[in-house]
């Protein structure tokens, strides 16, 4: 699978993994999957609240990746809601 058909998810500690890009998948579903995967790998505490951010802005959970403006090949950051300047990033 080429990189252009994937997205990269980044944990708060900088750990990364790639997953297939599915334009109609919701932000919430991608976030849930990322938190579970990073939690399994001990890269974050899966019991804390997180947001998914793209290009410095938090994404609305109910939107699809396409509707949120996330293209294939994008890097999405999992950010803690509890850390000012991280999870409190500006919503677009």
Strands 16-20 and 6-10 come out as: antiparallel
pLDDT of residue 1: 36
Half-sphere exposure of 80 (CA within 13 A, CB side): 14
- Whether 91 has a pLDDT exceeding 70, the answer reads no
Q: Which domains does the chain have, with CATH numbers?
A: 3-80 (3.10.20.90)
- Whether 41 has a pLDDT exceeding 80, the answer reads yes
- Whether 25 has a pLDDT exceeding 70, the answer reads yes
pLDDT of residue 85: 55
pTM here? 0.85
Q: Is 36 left (phi over 0), alpha (psi -120 to 50) or beta?
A: alpha
- Whether 50 has a pLDDT exceeding 80, the answer reads yes
């Amino acid at each position: 699978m080429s990189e252009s058909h994937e997205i990269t998810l980044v944990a708060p500690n900088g750990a990364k993994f790639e997953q297939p890009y599915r334009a109609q998948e919701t932000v919430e579903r991608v976030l849930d999957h990322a938190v579970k995967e990073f939690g399994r790998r001990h890269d974050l505490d899966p019991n804390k609240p997180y947001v998914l951010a793209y290009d410095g802005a938090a994404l609305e959970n109910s939107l699809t990746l396409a509707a949120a403006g996330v293209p294939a090949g994008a890097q999405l950051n999992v950010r803690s809601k509890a850390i000012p300047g991280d999870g409190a990033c500006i919503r677009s």
